[in-house]
Structure 1
Amino acid sequence: MSFYTSLNGLKNAQTELGVIAHNIANVDTNGFKKGRTDFADVVAGSAQSDPRKIQGIGATLEAISQNFALGPIEQTGGALDLALTGDGFFTMRSAEGGKTLYTRNGGFGIDEASYINDGLNNRLQVFPTDADGTITSTTPVDAQIPATNADGAEFAGVTVGSDGAVTATYADGTFEVVGTVALASFISPTGLKQVGSSNWEATGISGAAKYGAPGAGQYGSLLSGALERSNVDIAEELVGLITAQRNFQANAKAIDTATQISQTVINLRT
C-alpha cells in the first residue's frame, strides 16, 4: 500500500509543479490570476474500525483554485486601456459564436467595423444610454462607435470616463456618448471556468453574472489609460517551486525505501 500512497504523492507534487509553472509562464500576462493547488488527506476505515487505528492512505487533489486578488496597475496612456480597482469583470461577447466571456484584461482597441474589442473578435459590452449619458437599459450590447456623426463629421477619438461612459468625439468638435461599460460580478468568482486569453465563463458554481456600472458597489472604479498586470508574485512562486520539488523527491525516496523493504522480504523467503 505504501507504493500507491507515495505514488499519489508523486502525482500531487507533479500537479503542483504544473500549476506553479503555469503561474510563472503568465507573470507578464495582463489580467491573469494565479492558481493554487489544494490537497486533502485520504483515510480508509469502516463502521467497525477503531477510530484510533484508522490509517491514512495518502493525499488527493481537492481543487486548483484561482486567486482573484488585484494585480499591479500599470499606466499606459492608451484611451482604451482600462483597469478595474474592484471585483468586477469586463463583459465580452464573441462575434462568431455569441458566447459571453468575462475578463480582467482591459487592453481594448477598435476593429474595422468600429466595434471595441480585445483583438480576438470578442466585443466589449456596454449599457445603452441616451444623449445625456443616462443608462436606458440594463441589458448589455456591443460597444460600437459610429464612423461619422449625424452631420457627417468623421470620428476623431474616444475617451472612457471613471463612470464607464464611452464618449466618441468627431472632427467638428462634437461628441456622442456610445454607452456605459457593463461590468459583471459573481457570488463565487473562484467557480468561473478558465477558457484562455485571460477570459472566463460563468458556471453553475460561480453563479450567474450580476451586471452593474463602474463605481457602484463591489464592481470597483474604472481607470482609463491603465492595465492590470498579472497578480503572480515571482518570488513566492519560486519558493513554492522549491517546496514542490522537495515533496516530489521525498515521495520518490519513500517509493525507493518501500522497494528495498520488499526486496529484503523476498530475499528472506528465498
Structure 2
Amino acid sequence: MAFQQGLSGLNAASKSLEVIGNNVSNAGTVGFKQAQAQFADVYANSLAGGGGSQVGIGTKLVRVAQQFTQGNISGTNNPLDIAINGKGFFRMNNAGDITYSRNGQFILNKDGFIENASGALLTGYPVGPNGVVSAGAPIPLEINAADLSPTPTGTYDLVLNLDSRVTAIPVATAFDPNNPGTYHKSVPVPVYDSLGNSHLLQTYYVNRGPVPGPGNSWDVYGQVTLSDGTTQMLGGAAVPPYATIGTLAFSNAGVMTPAAPLVVNFTPPGAAAMAINVSHASTTQFGSAMSVNSQAQNGYTSGSLTGFSVAADGKFIGRYSNGKANVLGQLALVNFANPNGLQAMGDNAFTETSLSGVPLIGTPGSSGMGAVQSSAVEESNVDLTEELVNMITAQRIYQANAQTIKTEDQIMQTLVNLR
C-alpha cells in the first residue's frame, strides 16, 4: 500500500509545484489571479462499512482554485489602461464569444473600438442622440471621433452688483454706447450662433433714479458686435434714441424685484435667428463698487476631439478643442455568484460555467461592482515570497513521499530475500 500512497503524494507534490510555477511565471501579468492547489485524502471503499482502523490510500488533487483577491493598482501613461478596484470583470466580445477579464490594458483600434491585446472588444453602453447613456444589452464600445456640433446660445445668466451710490442719469439724456457718460456699467460676453460663429453681446446699465415707491430703477440697453465686425443695437431702435431691452427695479434694501428674463433678438449673417433670455436673478444694488459676480451662457462653437479619460463610474469622457467635455459611452462590469466556478481560457480570459452562475451585469460603482481607475492597471496578486516558501514546502513533501517509496522498496526486498 505504501507504494500507492507514496505515488499519490509524489503526484500531489508535482501538481502543487506546477501551480506554484504557473503563479511565479505570471507574477508580472496584469490582472492575473494566483491559483491554489487543493487536495483531499483518499480511502478505499469497504464492503463492511467504515471502521476506526481504516487506513487511507493517499491523496488526490480536487481543485485548482483561483484567488480573486485585489491586486495592487499602479499608474501608467495610457488613458486606456483601466484598473478595477473591487469586484467585477470586464466583459469582452471576441468575435461573438463573450469572455471576462481583469486585465484592463486596452488600445483604440483603427475602427474606433476599444480592444485588448487578443483582439477582444470591450463592451458597454453607447450614448444616445440626447447625450444620455443608453440602457439595454452591452455592445462593443466605440469612441466617436466626430466633431462636437455647435450649440447656439439660448440663455445668459448674469449676477451683478450695481452701485447704489452713483448719480442717476436723467431720462432726457439719450443713451449712446460710444459715450461712457450716458451709462454706468457695461458687461460683454461672447455668444454663439447655430453655425458656431462667435458674436460679442454687450449689456449697458443706466441708473434712472427712484421708482414709484421706495427704490431705484436701472435701464438696460444691448448691443451686439457680429462676427463680420458690424454692430447692431438691440431693443428695436436702430438709430438714436435707442430703446431699452428692459428695466431692473430694486427695493430700498438693494434687492431686485423679481422679473422675467430680458429677451434680445438678432439675426447673424448666414445663421438662424437668435433669441437669448438674459437673466439677472440675484443681482443686487448695494453701496459698493460695480462688480460682475458671475456670468454664464450656454452656447459653444464646434470642437474636435483632443482626448478622453475614464471616470470612476466607467464613463468615457471626451475632451474637445472648444473646452467642452462630452460622454462617449460607459463600460460594463460583470460579477458572478461564484467566481471560482469560471473556466480559465488563457489570454487573461475566463468564461462562465454552470458552477459560476449567470453573469450579473452592471456599471462600475453600482450593484456591488468596484470602481474603475483610468491610466492604471491592476497588478498580479501573486506574492512571490509566499510562493517561494510554498515551493520549498512542496519540494520537501515530494522528497518525503519519495522516501516512503524507497522504504517500502527496502521492506519488499527484505521479504523477497527471506529463504
Is 1:130 equivalent to 2:102 in the alignment? no
1:201 equivalent in structure 2: 351
Give the counterpart letter for 1:245 in structure 2: Q
Is 1:6 equivalent to 2:10 in the alignment? no
Q: Distance in 2 between matches of 1:12 and 1:88?
A: 32
Shift of 1:154: 4.7
Which is further off, 193-202 or 250-259? 193-202
TM-score by length of 2: 0.61
**Matches of residues 62-81 of structure 1 in structure 2 within 5 Å?**
62-81=62-81
Q: Distance in 1 between matches of 2:50 and 2:100?
A: 50
Give the counterpart letter for 2:418 in structure 1: L
Question: How many correspondences in the alignment?
Answer: 267
User: Contact between 1:132 and 1:177, CA under 8 Å: does it hold in 2?
Assistant: no
Q: Distance in 2 between matches of 1:37 and 1:210?
A: 27
Is 1:255 equivalent to 2:405 in the alignment? yes
Shift of 1:134: 3.6
User: Contact between 1:89 and 1:104, CA under 8 Å: does it hold in 2?
Assistant: yes
1:82 equivalent in structure 2: 82
Is 1:227 equivalent to 2:377 in the alignment? yes
Give the counterpart letter for 2:347 in structure 1: S
User: Contact between 2:84 and 2:102, CA under 8 Å: does it hold in 1?
Assistant: yes
SS of alignment partner, residue 12 of structure 1: helix
Q: Deviations over 1:200-249 (max 9, x none)?
A: 11111111111001111321111112110000000000000000000000
Shift of 1:148: 1.9
Q: Distance in 1 between matches of 2:62 and 2:406?
A: 26
SS of alignment partner, residue 117 of structure 2: coil
Which is further off, 134-143 or 118-127? 134-143
Which is further off, 207-216 or 12-21? 207-216
1:109 equivalent in structure 2: 107
SS of alignment partner, residue 411 of structure 2: helix
User: Contact between 1:88 and 1:220, CA under 8 Å: does it hold in 2?
Assistant: yes
| Residue ranges of structure 1 left out of the alignment (5+ in a row) | none
User: Contact between 2:31 and 2:379, CA under 8 Å: does it hold in 1?
Assistant: yes
Shift of 1:173: 4.4
Shift of 1:63: 0.3
Q: Superposition RMSD on alpha carbons, in Å?
A: 1.7
Residue of 341, 346, 360 corresponding to 1:191: 341
Q: Deviations over 1:71-93 (max 9, x none)?
A: 01101142111111111111111
User: Contact between 1:168 and 1:177, CA under 8 Å: does it hold in 2?
Assistant: yes
Q: Distance in 2 between matches of 1:49 and 1:115?
A: 63
Shift of 1:168: 2.6
Q: Distance in 2 between matches of 1:180 and 1:251?
A: 54
SS of alignment partner, residue 56 of structure 1: coil
User: Contact between 1:80 and 1:109, CA under 8 Å: does it hold in 2?
Assistant: yes
User: Contact between 2:148 and 2:320, CA under 8 Å: does it hold in 1?
Assistant: no
SS of alignment partner, residue 218 of structure 1: coil
SS of alignment partner, residue 353 of structure 2: coil
Which is further off, 205-214 or 172-181? 172-181
2:414 equivalent in structure 1: 264
Which is further off, 131-140 or 246-255? 131-140
Q: Deviations over 1:168-213 (max 9, x none)?
A: 3344545442211100000000111111121111111111111001
Q: Distance in 2 between matches of 1:109 and 1:132?
A: 27
Give the counterpart letter for 2:42 in structure 1: V
Shift of 1:135: 3.3
Distance change (3 Å), C-alpha of 1:120 and 1:155? farther
Is 1:217 equivalent to 2:215 in the alignment? no
Is 1:167 equivalent to 2:317 in the alignment? yes
TM-score by length of 1: 0.93
Which has more helix, going by share of residues? 1
Give the counterpart letter for 2:339 in structure 1: P
User: Contact between 1:103 and 1:199, CA under 8 Å: does it hold in 2?
Assistant: yes
User: Contact between 1:34 and 1:66, CA under 8 Å: does it hold in 2?
Assistant: yes
2:330 equivalent in structure 1: 180
Give the counterpart letter for 1:115 in structure 2: F
1:36 equivalent in structure 2: 36
Which is further off, 51-60 or 18-27? 51-60
Residue of 245, 258, 261 corresponding to 2:395: 245
Which is further off, 220-229 or 243-252? 220-229
Q: Distance in 1 between matches of 2:29 and 2:375?
A: 17
